[in-house]
Amino acid sequence: MKDKELSSINENLLEFTALFHSKIGKIFRTTNHKSYHCNKNQNRTIMILGRHKYLSPSTLGKYLGMRKGSLTTLIDSLIEKDLVSRKIDPNDRRRYLLSLTEKGENYMQYQKSLFDDAMKVLFQNLNEEETKKFSKSIKNVVELMTKV
């Protein structure tokens, strides 16, 4: 029975990934900020760092699905824009921690408001009950994925 469920999970995750990128992922490409012109991965990085106080580059790379070379270029570009800072981990001098600068926090809030507006448009075809069901389902998925 477990094999059948795992097969179903695999099929649905593949479909979810495709739907996520076609419907929601494009929101990360949206940027019309007067001072910063960030690409999709830069915007995703800002949003991820906004949910965490500090992250190591390796953890960020796992969250973004990026390899070390590309990730270093991405981080350097955000440091150059003064949106992200890279500091030595006070508990382990061999490690660095990334965090948003004050400008990064402000940009993240700006992008979050764009994201919130885009989500309202995206979900306008669902009624209140469907929206609640979706919210509960995605929360369950996140809780279970943290255990995997």
27/92: higher pLDDT: 92
Neighbours of 121 (CB within 10 A): 9
Q: Report residue 86: phi and psi, to 5°.
A: -125, 120
What are 4-57's pLDDT values in tens digits? 889 999 999 999 889 888 888 777 776 777 777 888 899 999 999 999 989 999
- pLDDT attached to residue 89: 87
pTM: 0.82
The token pair at 45 is 């990085």
Cα torsion 8, 14, 116, 46 to 10°: value is 120
Secondary-structure class of domain 23-147 per CATH? mainly alpha
The token pair at 82 is 């003064």
- pLDDT attached to residue 30: 66
38/102: higher pLDDT: 102
